[in-house]
Structure 1
Amino acid sequence: MNPIAALRRLLFRYGLYQLHGLFLVGICVLTVPSVFLLVVLNRSEELSLFRPKGPMWVSQHGQGSGRVTPVERFRQRRQHFVDTCRMIGHAGEEDDGLSPLMRFENLTVCLPSKAGSTLFKMILHYLAENKASLPNEQPFFQVQFGNVHEELPKSLRAPRRGKLDGGGMKTAVFVRDPYTRLLFAYIDKLFRPRLDYWRTYGKPILTHVRGHEETDLSRMCASDVTFAEFIRYLVMSELEKKTKVSPHFYPISRQCGLCNEPENLSVVYDFIGKTETYATDAPAILKAVGLYDRLPHDFDLGVAYRQRNMELLVNYTFRRHLSEPLSTMCTSKAETLVRVWRILQIRGIFSTSESFPFSNTSAEDVTYGQFLQTSRAAFKRSLEDRSLSGNVNTAMKEAYSTVPLADRKALQRIFHRDFLLFQYPSSVPGVFPENDRFQLDRFHFFDVFHERFKEKTAEL
């Protein structure tokens, strides 16, 4: 092996990030445009990425706009991926095959979880039901999407393996900053009130992380897994090999055939979209394959999508979760509804100025209709708050401040291929503040785990 190439791989393999990073910067300065060195992270959930109207989506705060066109940005990302894959070598791991491929007409797309997959699947569902070449006026949310993650129509299915290109087929994949993706994975699978998720994802975490310290209630419900415990379990699985984590939490570079197969460059996607620039990436991909103009034009997808997700979360919580007898044994109804409220605030749907409007006592008696009406009013008022996209940054700091430094550094090793292949920084202030001193806001998103919160709400 070439000595320089061998040194690169050794630096990479043993996590010498500073040296490796300097090496990469040197390569970038010499070989690629300086724009490659500019990384902008606006950790907004895809719920808050759109503004009126129709398929001509524009980011609410200018995210994704600038001097570089989407076409040029895709070209740069693709070239960086190819160059980096050649430099660092293939992972030599089998693709976990978690993310199903979706194919519609001349587009095949791989959608890893927590990377904007839900919305793009809904868009493809809509297009599959409305196959006319002209914009269809059927309201977007009148389509019966069902569970887009589990009930994939046959017309949208694509083979998991095999060659994806050729025959005029275009390919796309969406990626996301690993730290943000982990936060939303935790919120969706563990913090959200949902008994089946607590059983599936929470119980293994408590068994391996808490062990004999686990209480009877935790053992039965697994409803109180903290973010720090979630990260510790991930580290135990990926580095210490003491258990096996769910594929939902795997690095994206281990999915979708990304730089995994040694015989070639595996799948080199035409488009690498990012959640952080979803507002421009998604429509640019659809435009490139001739699907862009089939979406309804007079439709505020941003506001409608956020309201739709709010209503779906409230509906599931009341109709499904709270209807199960075990749910109120695991958490009080008040805590359940506070969690829903906090999730909507983290996602940038509710403003942090919208305090939870019920006491412990009144929450026990609130009906689905009352809570939905209250939520709609809070949503409408929150539309005037221009700082909504900052909620997730505040939640990021709060969550990662609870994680020991050793485990945060371990995440750098676990996701090092994601950082390099997709141009995300491995060290950001929200996870690694200066001198490791987190400056937290007075507002707390995860205060349901605080004893003082339980005492406070009991007094209301």
Structure 2
Amino acid sequence: MTSLIYTVSKERFGLAKKKPEKPAPIISRRQRLIKQTRKELSSVKRQYRKAKEEEKEPSLSEVQHVVKKARTGSVPGPNGIPYRVYKMCPGILQKLWTLLRVIWRKGKFPDCWKRAEGIFAPKEKDSNDIGQFRTISLLNVEGKIFFAVLAKRLSTFLTDSNYVLTTILVLVSGESEVTLSTMLRKLRRYRKELILLWVALLLLALVMIFYRDAGIKILVGSRHQLWTSHDTDPKVSVEAKAVDIPPTHGYELARRVAERCSSYVRNRISGGIDEGVFGSFSSENIDLCIVWKVGTTFIRRLFLMKQNPRFAKVISPYEINFSEDYVTGSRIRMDLSVKRFLFVRNPYKRLLSAFVDKLMAPNPVYWTILGVKIAQYAKQSPSPLSLACGHDVEFHEFIRYSVLTLDPTQRFRPGAPDGHISSQSSLCKPCHVKYDFIGKMENFQSDSIELIRQMRFTNETLDVLSENGDMLSAEDAILDSCYQPFDPDFQAGLLKCISFYEALKRTWRKMQIRGLIGPEDIPVTEKDAVLVTQDKLFKLAMESRDHTTQTERLRMKNNFYREFYNSIGAEDLSKLRAIYAEDFMLFEYDHRPF
């Protein structure tokens, strides 16, 4: 049937003629290259979409994050362009991001990134020997931004791959600049020798790869000199300003205190010399009168480094555990060969610090010593648990108890004054003991450097604390705070009075009041509290700190301060002014809290 239909149709309609086949096109070499390039581009795009985040080019958000976290006041490198340009001009930052992506793809770094502008800064007065100077190396901020992105990715990769302990990486991740020596000092605090060796070798390899043609420009007098690895003769460059350590005014304050004392009638100054507590730290020709809540933990570590052979090779005092004890002296020595130091603090801020650290924080030892007494004598209608634990003292109750204890007009005093609330002038008797140097907690970063100089620490210790003192202090304070809820000596007394979750919340609030972390609530639920470790709490605190600026944390700290003192009645404030009158007058503090 099929054959019949085909035959009839062929006779009637005929067959369609086949179109001649077109000859195969001749592809030129250029077309072949274009086709191959398109295939490669498609393949690269597929691989890029599948690639891990750390293998991709720097994103704009990563660059913006690094620039946002960088200090606006950082000194620029040889090209003179500061971070402020990129902070204030988003358009210029986007152009820089485009250039950084090109550098990432090509894997070749600009020569200007391999040049550092070094400046000799004196470490002490009347420096005239090369060993009395330290070198500050200034790099171009563009290179620092690029390598900050790389460092952040590297730390994330190491953390996610479990190559390095999270507790250690938290200390170094997210920083714009991490020098080899700084990272090693931080790692050394945890005594992780194998990790320490691995990170040291890794960083050394990075330095060799990125800076094999490195050069440095040193300021000598008013002229720069430039050396590179290929140069034999120095090349003179342009003039620049030297960087110096901020001056300290502790000697001037000590002189002014002595003048005020001499102008006063002696019997108007509190008591005689025999009434002084006079706890002191002593080392060779240095004596320091102890005033609690005025940098005593840090100062104790300095004297441990000098007096205890176990810490003879320690570079940074922050490498010493905060629980290490030191046997204090009983009196300040009056020898002419001894230099006498004293550090003081605004009395209002010292009181708040004592309350937060000893009573509001999870500290069952001081709840028993001080909190129970406050519940008995200053709390209205205390509960049986309050009288047994002393765990729920409010700030206005603490102030009321301080007034009852310290006010000489009170007929009944509930107990002897605690050293944390006693006036600084009553503890150290500045009108009976001539102090050579009186530093302030408000200027502790610069004033403590003078103590370190006089104690004749190594140049390396001086460098570490001059350059990274604030950062190390904040990390140490967070580490100390996070340890409190997990302190074995605290556990039994703590859980009798409050829950573990409450202890975590109090620790978090303590760090917020001190301006160490951000304002958000602790990111832990009551159900998950039992799973929180000290390392986990420390990591959460450091993340909170990294997500806020110093300005934001300082504003929050000041708001807390005002909130606490607004809760104090006018009568108690008036009595506080009278109790601490000598501190206000001698040490030049305002007698009003704000």
TM-score above 0.5: yes
- Residue equivalent to 1:420: 585
Change (3 A) 1:294 1:139: closer
String of CA shifts for 1:366-412, please: whole Å, max 9, x gaps: 34443333234334434x44332333321211111111111011110
Change (3 A) 1:67 1:279: closer
Q: 1:304 aligns with which of 440, 462, 472?
A: 472
String of CA shifts for 1:72-106, please: whole Å, max 9, x gaps: x2343122212221233333524554452111122
- Residue equivalent to 2:331: 160
- Residue equivalent to 2:128: none
Structure 1 residue 288 displacement after superposition: 4.2
String of CA shifts for 1:303-350, please: whole Å, max 9, x gaps: 2232223222222312336631x5234222222111100111122211
C-alpha contact (below 8 Å) 2:340/2:437 kept by paired residues: yes
Change (3 A) 1:381 1:122: farther
Q: 2:443 aligns with which of 277, 280, 298?
A: 277
- Whether 1:115 and 2:282 are equivalent positions in the alignment is no
User: What is the TM-score of this pair, normalised by structure 1?
Assistant: 0.68
- Residue equivalent to 2:497: 330
- Residue equivalent to 1:252: 424
C-alpha contact (below 8 Å) 1:176/1:274 kept by paired residues: yes
- Residue equivalent to 1:208: 377
- Residue equivalent to 1:397: 562
Structure 1 residue 117 displacement after superposition: 1.6
- Residue equivalent to 1:87: 263
Higher relative contact order (CA 8 A, sep 6+): 1
- Residue equivalent to 2:163: none
Q: Secondary structure at the match of 2:588?
A: coil
String of CA shifts for 1:29-60, please: whole Å, max 9, x gaps: xxxxxxxxxxxxxxxxxxxxxx99999xxxxx
Q: Secondary structure at the match of 2:551?
A: coil
Structure 1 residue 361 displacement after superposition: 2.9
Length, aligned pairs only = 348
- Residue equivalent to 1:242: 412
Identity %: 24
Structure 1 residue 123 displacement after superposition: 2.0
String of CA shifts for 1:130-157, please: whole Å, max 9, x gaps: 7999xx674544435643xxx325xxx5
Q: Secondary structure at the match of 2:343?
A: strand
- Residue equivalent to 1:227: 395
Listed as ranges, the gaps of 5+ residues in structure 2 are 1-176, 183-242
User: What is the TM-score of this pair, normalised by structure 2?
Assistant: 0.53
CA distance, structure 1, for counterparts of residue 373 and residue 355 of structure 2: 14
C-alpha contact (below 8 Å) 2:341/2:435 kept by paired residues: yes
Q: 2:303 aligns with which of 124, 132, 147?
A: 124
CA distance, structure 1, for counterparts of residue 456 and residue 304 of structure 2: 16
Change (3 A) 1:228 1:52: farther
1:179-190 superposed matches below 5 A: 179-190=348-359
Structure 1 residue 202 displacement after superposition: 0.5
Q: Which amino acid aligns with 2:255?
A: Q
CA distance, structure 1, for counterparts of residue 403 and residue 573 of structure 2: 9
Which of the pair has more CA radius of gyration?
2
C-alpha contact (below 8 Å) 1:209/1:229 kept by paired residues: yes
